[in-house]
Structure 1
Amino acid sequence: MHDDGPPISVRERQLRIVEAVLFSSPEPLSLSEILPYVGEGADLPSLIEDLRNQYAPRGINLVRRGDGWAFRTAEDLGFLLRRQEEETRPLSRAALETLAIIAYHQPTTRAEIEEVRGVAVGKGTLDLLMEAGWVRMRGRRRTPGRPVTYGTTDGFLDHFSLESLTDLPGLDELKGAGLLSSRLPASLQIPLPFDGDLREDEDPLDPDDAGVDAE
């Protein structure tokens, strides 16, 4: 007679389901996206915490990326593993500076980006950052002309291994990494980025905004 071993508990089964769902997803998943797989009533925060602790000493860790969770190579082993990726055109200095300004000043408009940099944002720079999945259109500023406001995405957090925007490096670190140049004003201060829903000075995007080019 074949012995299948002792039956697993409901919680053990839920842990296995959450583990499988996260492992099979290339993108971070939010709790609301995981819940349908385990069913209503499951204590997802507790299940996630258990998995996080279980994987903490292993070669892959369960990490938070914004509102989502994902398995990623342990930070101290990342240098050993280099995923084969298609060669992509490196971001220009202008694109890197624009990305850094959006990250720290979001929600921000194109005109506000240009004010910080002191130069115009070249055609296609914002489009490039949105195509990379790092920047998104958030809404429209409640000012004349209703300019589009921009912010970063969870894909930005995932790519740069950040749990949240509060983990962004300081000004000196940004300059050291080449993300900001000496051309920026010496008095520039790094503010705490706004990470949330639309602010009081923002309106939702118009229905046809999804199809427009970056302003």
Structure 2
Amino acid sequence: MTSGDLGNALAEAEEEVANIATALGENTLSLFFRLEKRDGTPKDQLSSIKKFLEELQHKREERMKEFCDIQSQIIQLHEALRCSVVDEQIVDDKNLTTKRLRELKLVLQGLQRDKKRNPIFVPVYLSVYDLHPINGSIYWLGLGLYHSGIQAVHGIKYEFGGHDSPSTGIFKGKPRECPGLMFRKSILIVRTDLGPHEVHKFMEELSKRYMRTSYNLIIKNCNYFCNDVSLRLT
């Protein structure tokens, strides 16, 4: 690397350090140049600033994770409370200061209090399908062969089925639709105050308990799944 290349690389590293330090609200930049950059060859200076830059980049990544986690919770609560996220609550990667982080935490705490005071509940239905045409004759006797799913949880239907592959048996679909089966009826079973993101996260966690290979026609079938989900959503 020529002296010109070293100079350019050093200038680019200095600029990135300055940008990250500004975004984090850190006062480490002048300290670094005072203690580290004064001595040594350009190559030594570049090596030192790269190490310092890596530390700042790691710190920015960790700070960004904090911001994104809080923003995700804010968005979920806004959806649950039926209100819009304003620009002031959107994460800006150029402003990752601890002051800004405290401001968003206060917003989150306020929304959490609002949800506790004014919970909004949405209906959850059991979607029932005929597994066999014979149901048309024996339905009125209280008998039949049926498949079921949790319907209209924020416009999404969740079902459970079995297969030999070792993946989750929970799958999503459109309400009142199931390939190869005839829709019978919907039954209101519970109401939940969980928002769309909360329901999605809940199903992701539940998916580990409902692997395709764990399906059992008698003791762990689609109806067992629907009953379990309805109890957990309340």
Task: Return the TM-score normalized by structure 1.
Answer: 0.29
Higher helix share: 2
Bigger CA radius of gyration? 2
Q: TM-score, normalised by structure 2?
A: 0.28
